[in-house]
Chain A
Amino acid sequence: LAKTTQPISMDSYEGQEVNITCSHNNIATNDYITWYQQFPSQGPRFIIQGYKTKVTNEVASLFIPADRKSSTLSLPRVSLSDTAVYYCLVGDGTGGGNKLTFGTGTQLKVEL
Protein backbone atom coordinates (compact mmCIF):
# COMPACT_ATOMS: atom_id res chain seq x y z
CA LEU A 1 0.00 0.00 0.00
CA ALA A 2 1.20 3.50 -0.77
CA LYS A 3 2.47 5.41 2.23
CA THR A 4 1.57 9.02 2.87
CA THR A 5 3.54 11.76 4.60
CA GLN A 6 1.95 14.94 5.93
CA PRO A 7 2.89 17.57 8.50
CA ILE A 8 2.22 16.62 12.09
CA SER A 9 0.59 19.94 12.94
CA MET A 10 -0.42 23.31 11.52
CA ASP A 11 -1.71 26.50 13.11
CA SER A 12 -3.96 29.08 11.51
CA TYR A 13 -6.37 31.89 12.32
CA GLU A 14 -10.02 32.27 11.58
CA GLY A 15 -10.74 33.48 8.07
CA GLN A 16 -7.45 32.24 6.64
CA GLU A 17 -7.06 29.70 3.87
CA VAL A 18 -5.28 26.55 5.00
CA ASN A 19 -3.39 24.26 2.67
CA ILE A 20 -2.26 20.85 3.89
CA THR A 21 0.08 18.99 1.60
CA CYS A 22 0.49 15.25 1.55
CA SER A 23 3.15 13.30 -0.28
CA HIS A 24 2.52 9.82 -1.67
CA ASN A 25 5.47 8.95 -3.88
CA ASN A 26 4.45 5.32 -4.38
CA ILE A 27 0.87 5.91 -5.42
CA ALA A 28 -0.43 3.23 -7.79
CA THR A 29 -2.21 3.87 -11.06
CA ASN A 30 -5.58 2.79 -9.73
CA ASP A 31 -5.34 4.64 -6.41
CA TYR A 32 -7.52 7.57 -5.49
CA ILE A 33 -6.57 10.18 -2.89
CA THR A 34 -9.00 10.69 -0.04
CA TRP A 35 -9.03 13.10 2.88
CA TYR A 36 -10.83 12.57 6.17
CA GLN A 37 -11.41 14.89 9.11
CA GLN A 38 -11.61 13.70 12.70
CA PHE A 39 -12.73 15.53 15.82
CA PRO A 40 -11.85 14.21 19.29
CA SER A 41 -13.95 11.22 20.37
CA GLN A 42 -15.62 10.95 16.97
CA GLY A 43 -15.11 8.75 13.95
CA PRO A 44 -13.39 10.15 10.86
CA ARG A 45 -15.57 12.06 8.43
CA PHE A 46 -15.06 12.02 4.66
CA ILE A 47 -14.07 15.40 3.23
CA ILE A 48 -13.06 14.95 -0.39
CA GLN A 49 -11.66 12.45 -2.88
CA GLY A 50 -9.90 12.85 -6.19
CA TYR A 51 -7.80 11.11 -8.81
CA LYS A 52 -6.10 13.96 -10.69
CA THR A 53 -6.17 17.72 -11.29
CA LYS A 54 -8.63 19.55 -9.09
CA VAL A 55 -11.74 18.57 -7.20
CA THR A 56 -13.95 21.01 -5.31
CA ASN A 57 -16.95 20.51 -3.08
CA GLU A 58 -18.79 22.64 -0.58
CA VAL A 59 -16.20 22.00 2.10
CA ALA A 60 -12.79 21.93 0.45
CA SER A 61 -10.69 21.73 -2.69
CA LEU A 62 -8.18 19.06 -3.57
CA PHE A 63 -5.28 19.81 -5.89
CA ILE A 64 -3.40 16.92 -7.47
CA PRO A 65 -0.44 17.56 -9.80
CA ALA A 66 0.06 15.55 -12.96
CA ASP A 67 2.57 13.15 -11.40
CA ARG A 68 0.11 12.44 -8.51
CA LYS A 69 2.99 12.08 -6.07
CA SER A 70 1.47 14.68 -3.80
CA SER A 71 -1.83 16.37 -3.12
CA THR A 72 -2.97 19.51 -1.32
CA LEU A 73 -6.13 19.88 0.69
CA SER A 74 -7.31 23.48 0.70
CA LEU A 75 -9.75 24.72 3.33
CA PRO A 76 -11.05 28.21 2.52
CA ARG A 77 -11.68 30.67 5.33
CA VAL A 78 -11.27 28.31 8.26
CA SER A 79 -13.16 28.77 11.50
CA LEU A 80 -12.58 27.53 15.03
CA SER A 81 -14.75 24.50 14.26
CA ASP A 82 -12.24 23.34 11.65
CA THR A 83 -9.80 22.48 14.43
CA ALA A 84 -9.36 18.75 13.93
CA VAL A 85 -7.01 16.06 12.66
CA TYR A 86 -6.89 15.71 8.87
CA TYR A 87 -5.85 12.43 7.30
CA CYS A 88 -4.59 11.93 3.77
CA LEU A 89 -5.15 8.41 2.46
CA VAL A 90 -4.30 6.63 -0.72
CA GLY A 91 -6.68 3.82 -1.47
CA ASP A 92 -5.86 0.26 -2.31
CA GLY A 93 -6.77 0.26 -5.96
CA THR A 94 -6.44 -3.48 -6.39
CA GLY A 95 -9.97 -4.14 -5.32
CA GLY A 96 -9.02 -5.70 -2.03
CA GLY A 97 -11.90 -4.48 0.04
CA ASN A 98 -10.75 -0.88 0.03
CA LYS A 99 -9.44 -0.99 3.58
CA LEU A 100 -8.16 2.42 4.56
CA THR A 101 -4.61 2.98 5.74
CA PHE A 102 -4.40 6.02 7.98
CA GLY A 103 -1.19 7.76 8.96
CA THR A 104 -0.89 9.96 12.02
CA GLY A 105 -2.60 12.86 10.27
CA THR A 106 -2.17 16.62 10.56
CA GLN A 107 -3.49 18.33 13.67
CA LEU A 108 -4.90 21.67 12.53
CA LYS A 109 -5.44 24.27 15.22
CA VAL A 110 -7.46 27.35 14.33
CA GLU A 111 -7.34 30.34 16.65
CA LEU A 112 -9.16 33.65 16.80
Chain B
Amino acid sequence: DTGVSQDPRHKITKRGQNVTFRCDPISEHNRLYWYRQTLGQGPEFLTYFQNEAQLEKSRLLSDRFSAERPKGSFSTLEIQRTEQGDSAMYLCASSLGRNQETQYFGPGTRLLVL
Protein backbone atom coordinates (compact mmCIF):
# COMPACT_ATOMS: atom_id res chain seq x y z
CA ASP B 1 0.00 0.00 0.00
CA THR B 2 1.62 3.25 -1.11
CA GLY B 3 -0.97 5.62 0.38
CA VAL B 4 -0.67 7.92 3.36
CA SER B 5 -0.33 6.03 6.61
CA GLN B 6 -0.87 7.20 10.16
CA ASP B 7 0.08 5.68 13.47
CA PRO B 8 -1.52 4.94 15.84
CA ARG B 9 -5.05 4.63 14.53
CA HIS B 10 -6.51 5.09 17.99
CA LYS B 11 -5.16 6.67 21.15
CA ILE B 12 -6.78 6.96 24.56
CA THR B 13 -5.00 9.11 27.09
CA LYS B 14 -5.64 10.87 30.34
CA ARG B 15 -5.90 14.63 30.60
CA GLY B 16 -2.51 16.22 31.09
CA GLN B 17 -0.54 13.53 29.28
CA ASN B 18 1.49 14.14 26.12
CA VAL B 19 0.73 12.28 22.91
CA THR B 20 2.55 12.01 19.60
CA PHE B 21 1.16 10.95 16.26
CA ARG B 22 3.07 9.97 13.16
CA CYS B 23 2.24 10.44 9.50
CA ASP B 24 4.02 8.82 6.57
CA PRO B 25 3.08 10.58 3.32
CA ILE B 26 3.18 9.19 -0.19
CA SER B 27 6.90 8.95 -0.92
CA GLU B 28 7.31 11.53 -3.68
CA HIS B 29 5.00 14.11 -2.12
CA ASN B 30 6.62 17.35 -0.99
CA ARG B 31 3.70 18.82 0.91
CA LEU B 32 2.26 17.40 4.08
CA TYR B 33 -0.81 18.70 5.90
CA TRP B 34 -2.38 18.13 9.29
CA TYR B 35 -6.11 18.55 9.88
CA ARG B 36 -8.35 17.99 12.87
CA GLN B 37 -11.93 16.74 12.64
CA THR B 38 -14.52 16.66 15.38
CA LEU B 39 -17.77 14.76 15.26
CA GLY B 40 -20.23 16.11 12.71
CA GLN B 41 -17.81 18.67 11.32
CA GLY B 42 -15.54 18.76 8.32
CA PRO B 43 -11.78 18.62 8.77
CA GLU B 44 -10.09 21.84 9.90
CA PHE B 45 -6.64 22.83 8.69
CA LEU B 46 -3.92 22.87 11.34
CA THR B 47 -0.59 23.23 9.58
CA TYR B 48 1.39 22.26 6.51
CA PHE B 49 4.95 21.56 5.44
CA GLN B 50 6.75 22.05 2.17
CA ASN B 51 9.51 19.48 2.49
CA GLU B 52 10.93 20.05 5.99
CA ALA B 53 9.77 23.65 6.30
CA GLN B 54 6.60 24.40 8.25
CA LEU B 55 5.08 27.18 6.17
CA GLU B 56 1.74 27.87 7.79
CA LYS B 57 0.01 27.26 11.10
CA SER B 58 -3.65 27.76 11.89
CA ARG B 59 -4.83 29.73 14.91
CA LEU B 60 -6.25 26.38 16.04
CA LEU B 61 -2.71 25.21 16.69
CA SER B 62 -2.16 26.37 20.25
CA ASP B 63 1.29 26.40 21.85
CA ARG B 64 0.57 22.94 23.23
CA PHE B 65 0.72 21.59 19.70
CA SER B 66 3.93 21.11 17.77
CA ALA B 67 4.55 19.49 14.41
CA GLU B 68 7.79 18.49 12.79
CA ARG B 69 8.96 17.01 9.54
CA PRO B 70 12.69 16.74 10.17
CA LYS B 71 13.87 15.14 6.96
CA GLY B 72 11.05 16.15 4.69
CA SER B 73 9.55 12.68 4.79
CA PHE B 74 7.43 11.55 7.75
CA SER B 75 5.89 14.03 10.17
CA THR B 76 4.96 13.98 13.83
CA LEU B 77 2.28 15.95 15.64
CA GLU B 78 2.70 16.25 19.39
CA ILE B 79 0.11 17.50 21.82
CA GLN B 80 1.39 18.40 25.27
CA ARG B 81 -0.75 18.51 28.41
CA THR B 82 -3.77 17.14 26.59
CA GLU B 83 -7.22 18.49 27.37
CA GLN B 84 -10.60 16.88 26.82
CA GLY B 85 -11.25 19.38 24.04
CA ASP B 86 -8.37 17.85 22.11
CA SER B 87 -10.44 14.72 21.52
CA ALA B 88 -10.84 14.49 17.76
CA MET B 89 -9.69 12.69 14.63
CA TYR B 90 -6.30 13.95 13.47
CA LEU B 91 -5.87 13.61 9.74
CA CYS B 92 -2.73 13.82 7.67
CA ALA B 93 -2.69 14.50 3.95
CA SER B 94 0.04 14.84 1.36
CA SER B 95 0.39 16.24 -2.13
CA LEU B 96 3.03 16.75 -4.78
CA GLY B 97 3.42 20.45 -4.05
CA ARG B 98 1.55 22.24 -6.79
CA ASN B 99 -1.43 24.49 -6.25
CA GLN B 100 -4.98 23.27 -6.74
CA GLU B 101 -3.79 19.69 -6.77
CA THR B 102 -5.27 16.66 -5.09
CA GLN B 103 -4.50 16.02 -1.44
CA TYR B 104 -4.43 12.38 -0.40
CA PHE B 105 -5.58 11.71 3.12
CA GLY B 106 -4.53 9.05 5.56
CA PRO B 107 -6.98 7.06 7.71
CA GLY B 108 -6.52 9.38 10.68
CA THR B 109 -5.67 8.96 14.34
CA ARG B 110 -8.63 9.10 16.68
CA LEU B 111 -7.71 10.65 20.02
CA LEU B 112 -9.83 10.35 23.13
CA VAL B 113 -8.76 12.35 26.17
CA LEU B 114 -10.36 11.18 29.39
Q: Hey, which chain A residues are within 8 Å of B104, CB to CB?
A: 46
**In this complex, what residue of A is CB-closest to B47?**
A99
B interface residue count range (under 10 / 10 to 19 / 20 to 34 / 35 or more): 20 to 34
Task: Verify if B21 is at the interface (C-beta below 8 Å from A).
Answer: no
Interface size on A, residues (CB 8 A): 26
The answer to whether A99 touches B102 (Cβ under 8 A) is no
Does A100 have its Cβ within 8 Å of any Cβ on chain B? yes
Residues from chain B with Cβ under 8 Å of A102 in the complex: 41-44
Closest to A31 in B: B100
* Residue B74, interface by CB 8 Å: no
Q: Is the CB of A96 within 8 A of B56?
A: yes
A98-109 contact mask (Cβ, 8 Å, vs B): 1 or 0:
111111110000
The chain B residues found within 8 Å of chain A, CB to CB, are: 4, 31, 33, 35, 40-45, 48, 50, 55-56, 58, 89, 91-93, 95, 99-108, 110
